[in-house]
């Protein structure tokens, strides 16, 4: 008789509105099911999961924005360095031209001095 009573407890509702052991076991197994089953039972879980997903997306977005900002800063630094290098190159080209002119003047002076010396030597 006890076995018969136990079988009835497992398979029936006892007519008092309380869930049977089988129903409790089935709900316990639902915990192991994918999260959507919990979301159906507790809509707040779905809302919290959505907030978490949005939060994770926001964190990833913020991280990407920070990386992009650092890349833009480095790019701006490189542009400034390039601009400074171009100015330096222009100044070096001006200096080179100035030195070339000075060398030409020195060569002309040497030639003039050489002619003067050779002329004086010929005269003597």
Per-residue pLDDT reduced to its tens digit, 103-119: 999 999 999 988 888 88
pLDDT at 7 over 60: no
Residues 6+ apart with CB under 8 A from 19: 13, 27
Residue-level pLDDT at 123: 74
Does residue 93 lie in a domain region? yes
Domain extent at residue 47 = 19-123
Angle at which helices 21-30 and 2-11 pack, to 10 degrees? Answer: 50
Please indicate, yes or no, if residue 83 is contained in any of the structural domains: yes
What is the number of domains present in the chain?
A: 1
Q: Is residue 9 part of a domain?
A: no
- Between 14 and 99, the higher pLDDT residue: 99
Report the predicted TM-score, pTM, of the whole model to 2 decimal places. Answer: 0.45
Residue 119 domain-assigned? yes
Mean pLDDT rounded to a whole number for the chain: 78
Q: Give the residue with greater pLDDT, 101 vs 8.
A: 101
């Amino acid at each position: 008789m006890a076995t018969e009573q136990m079988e009835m407890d497992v398979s029936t509702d006892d007519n008092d509105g309380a869930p049977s052991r089988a129903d409790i076991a089935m709900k316990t197994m639902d915990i192991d099911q994918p999260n959507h089953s919990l979301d159906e039972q507790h809509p707040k879980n779905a809302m919290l999961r959505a907030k978490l997903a949005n939060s994770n997306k926001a964190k990833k977005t913020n991280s990407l924005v920070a990386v992009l900002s650092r890349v833009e800063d480095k790019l701006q630094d490189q542009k400034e360095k390039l601009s400074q290098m171009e100015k330096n190159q222009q100044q070096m080209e001006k200096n080179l031209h100035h030195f070339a002119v000075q060398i030409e003047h020195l060569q002309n002076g040497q030639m003039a001095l050489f002619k003067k010396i050779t002329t004086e030597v010929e005269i003597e």
